[in-house]
Structure 1
Amino acid sequence: MTSTSPVVSLRGLAKRYGEATVFSNVTLDIDPGEFVAIVGESGVGKSTLLNCMAGLDTWNEGQVILHGRDLQALTGDERALMRRRHVGFVFQAFHVLPHLDVAQNVGLPLMLLQQPAGRHVEEMLHAVGLDGLGGRLPQELSGGQLQRVAIARALIHRPALLLADEPTGNLDPGTAAKVMDVLAAQTREHGAALVLVTHSESAAARADRALRLTSGGIA
């Protein structure tokens, strides 16, 4: 975004499953270039909150405004296009496609947007420390390398918002620290807002803000 408007704004957001409240009264603004960590007890809905930010999940009360658009006012197809253009995802389980090589996995968001990949993929692989590995299949890579593939794929289309759900959860501490270095550095370089859900105190400590989610809100 070229203005100082928040990338994503939550206003009084509440999520329930039947009679059970997952979270409520979540109000939050996240600005361009900001790194926000969200921590909290297991089951409090941290991953669900990320999914709501991207319009992947529904909510019972409140608003989600992404890149200036009220997601609740959009159709399912319009939400999907918003995600494709403006959101990147990094997950604990990597979610790379095993039948595609590294370069094809990284370039997938550009292909979906019908944009040329080529040199952009090579530059992104260099940026995350995967030079020369574009032709390899995912099963030939280590866990740390796979997470770098996921980061490169999430950033290749220069999204306004990057959502990372426990991206170091499957990694040893040394590899996790290196992956966090890449994630933070690349997010800053691309000017994306980064929202990280984590149980890792060391990962949360790197954020500009660390917020705790509870059933009653966020602080």
Structure 2
Amino acid sequence: MSLIIQNLSKHYGSVPVFRHVSLTVAAGEFVAIIGESGVGKSTLLNCMAGLDSWDEGSVLLDGLDLGSQSDDQLARLRREKTGFVFQAFHVLPHLSVAQNVALPLMLLGQHDDARVQAMLQAVGLEGLGERLPQQLSGGQLQRVAIARALIHQPMLLLADEPTGNLDPHTAERVMDALMSQTRTHGAAMVLVTHSVTAAQRADRVLLLTASGLEPHAGA
């Protein structure tokens, strides 16, 4: 699944967030986006997922123009094709760890305990499936969110600081899981990060500024 962004601009009132952003991500490609805090990296990810609107330009997912889709159509597209790792986790407090991870499968009418357990192991949460979110650390909650984003094998993976609360060893394990979805299953992945280590694993590293995306000089 390919992602094509053409001349995308976003404003809050009269204040520009970013302007003239263009990007193509092919199936199986991993692109990292870096930039100063407040430059609009998370907002750009939200636009890629159809979670936020934009003022100019277009976002195409496998040729489908997200700007022309209804809210219901966008929700279905996210449910079936997209995995999103939110910076704020958005883990449901009344569901167990395993139930949170299985949620995308449940929404698709699927049930696969073996896949859930394998995903928990992949992110280092084996044996914690029955715990509630309030019994976990921040780093563990982040891994629940990552496992949930990967469980239905999405073809577009969007990750907002997925290793931000993790120690180096766990961060590497999580990046391995994310990379597997890209390399093994052919997903297109866009990762927003401040981590040099995470960005170094990308096929391309791009810098977001107020005037758009540009290749990072250190990449």
Same topology, TM > 0.5: yes
Q: Which residue of 2 aligns with 1:115?
A: 110
Q: Is the 8 A contact 1:106 1:149 kept in 2?
A: yes
1:31 aligns with 2:26: yes
2 CA distance for matches of 1:176 and 1:119? 24
Query: Taking structure 2 as the reference length, what is the TM-score of the superposition?
Result: 0.89
1:21 aligns with 2:41: no
Question: Aligned residue pairs: how many?
Answer: 214
> What amino acid does structure 1 have at the position aligned with 2:200?
A
> What amino acid does structure 2 have at the position aligned with 1:140?
Q
Q: Which residue of 2 aligns with 1:134?
A: 129
Deviation at 1:155, TM superposition (A): 1.1
1:149 aligns with 2:134: no
Q: Is the 8 A contact 2:146 2:162 kept in 1?
A: no
Q: For residues 142-182 of structure 1, what are the alpha-carbon distances to aligned partners after superposition, in whole Å with 9 as ceiling and x for unaligned? A: 33332222121101111111111112223344443443333
Aligned in 2, Cα 1:160/1:130: closer, same or farther, shift over 3 Å? Answer: same
1 CA distance for matches of 2:111 and 2:172? 32
Q: Is the 8 A contact 1:24 1:216 kept in 2?
A: yes
Q: Is the 8 A contact 2:122 2:174 kept in 1?
A: no
Q: Is the 8 A contact 1:39 1:197 kept in 2?
A: yes
Mean Cα deviation higher: 95-104 or 127-136: 127-136
Task: Give the % identical residues.
Answer: 67
Unaligned runs of 5+ in 1: none
1:48 aligns with 2:43: yes
Deviation at 1:14, TM superposition (A): 0.7
Mean Cα deviation higher: 103-112 or 123-132: 123-132
Q: 1:80 aligns with which of 72, 75, 79?
A: 75
1:191 aligns with 2:186: yes
2 CA distance for matches of 1:87 and 1:10? 16
> What amino acid does structure 2 have at the position aligned with 1:80?
A
Q: Is the 8 A contact 1:111 1:117 kept in 2?
A: no
2 CA distance for matches of 1:175 and 1:113? 29
1:61 aligns with 2:61: no
